[in-house]
Amino acid sequence: MSFSVVIPARYAAQRLPGKPLLDIGGKPMLQHTYERAMESKADRVIIATDDVRIQEAAQGFGALVCMTSSSHVSGTDRIQEVSSQLQMDESAVVVNVQADEPLIPSSVINQVAENLQQNSGVGIATLCEAITAKEEIGDSNSVKVVIDNRGHALYFSRATIPWQGSASAKNCYRHIGIYAYRVAVLNQFVEWPVCELEVTEKLEQLRALYNGVGIHVAVSNQSIPPGVDTERDLELVRAHINANKA
């Protein structure tokens, strides 16, 4: 299995400015994420940023860094620029790991890369988890996905899908935002205009579905701890890492 991991990292964040460099257990958050990615089977792990502060910090812990344009509106655009800079073959596989996932298990990085390589009819692979808490089913911050009998995504939504999930919590899956891409799809993706469904749901992956790209979805082989979006998330991750250091 051959694949690369790219970790897009922006300094600016509305709720937590400088988020990738926030300290967790004596290391910047980004370093924890990088170390988890380095534990995977990836051939290389690259940090993609447009900020010299992140570049210097990442180089300080030995990471390979690609400086990218400051005009990118999404991590996907940034990843595509990295694949272009490194002249990756169009058949190459790239896994997008978010910088604010310091607890991500390396096994799920391997899983999503393997799933893409084993399913030639799709251009993207991602993961999901069964929703078991009924309050999450109606939560718009929890993105749901409906999957066909081949394991391909039919649709992603912030609404409750399928509808009966609101009563039973069965067959209702929460999307996990880790993606494996074929470089050919990345190159197409950045050329497509934003579609209406993407704007309505505020979900970038709908641009791929809208343009006919198959997305493979599998249930994660390991529970994935939440990422860091808020100050509360940050404190929970700090507590988790400190407890495991003791």
Residue 237 in domain: no
Residues of the domain holding 8: 4-224
pLDDT at 129: 94
- HEC secondary structure over 211-239: CCCCEEEEECCCCCCCCCCCHHHHHHHHH
Residue 229 in domain: no
3-class DSSP state for residue 17?
coil
pLDDT at 16: 87
pLDDT(134) > 70: yes
Residue 146 in domain: yes
Residue 100 in domain: yes
pLDDT at 229: 86
pLDDT at 169: 65
> Cβ contacts of residue 108 below 8 Å, gap of 6+?
127, 176, 178, 220, 221, 222, 224
Quick: pLDDT tens for 157-183: 999 999 877 777 678 999 999 999 999
How many residues are listed for the chain in this entry? Answer: 246
Quick: pLDDT tens for 14-66: 778 899 999 999 999 999 999 999 999 999 999 999 999 999 999 999 999 99
Residue 48 contacts residue 11 (beta carbons within 8 Å): no
CA distance 218 to 115: 8
Residue 66 in domain: yes
pLDDT(1) > 80: no
Quick: pLDDT tens for 72-103: 888 899 999 999 999 999 999 999 999 999 99
pLDDT at 161: 93
pLDDT at 78: 94
pLDDT at 170: 72
pTM beyond cutoff 0.75: yes
Residue 144 in domain: yes
- CATH number of the domain bearing residue 14: 3.90.550.10
Domain count, the chain: 1
Where does residue 75 rank: exposed (0-12), middle (13-18), buried (19+ CB within 10 A)? Answer: buried
pLDDT(246) > 70: no
> What residue ranges in 105-233 does DSSP mark as E strands?
124-130, 144-147, 153-157, 173-182, 215-219
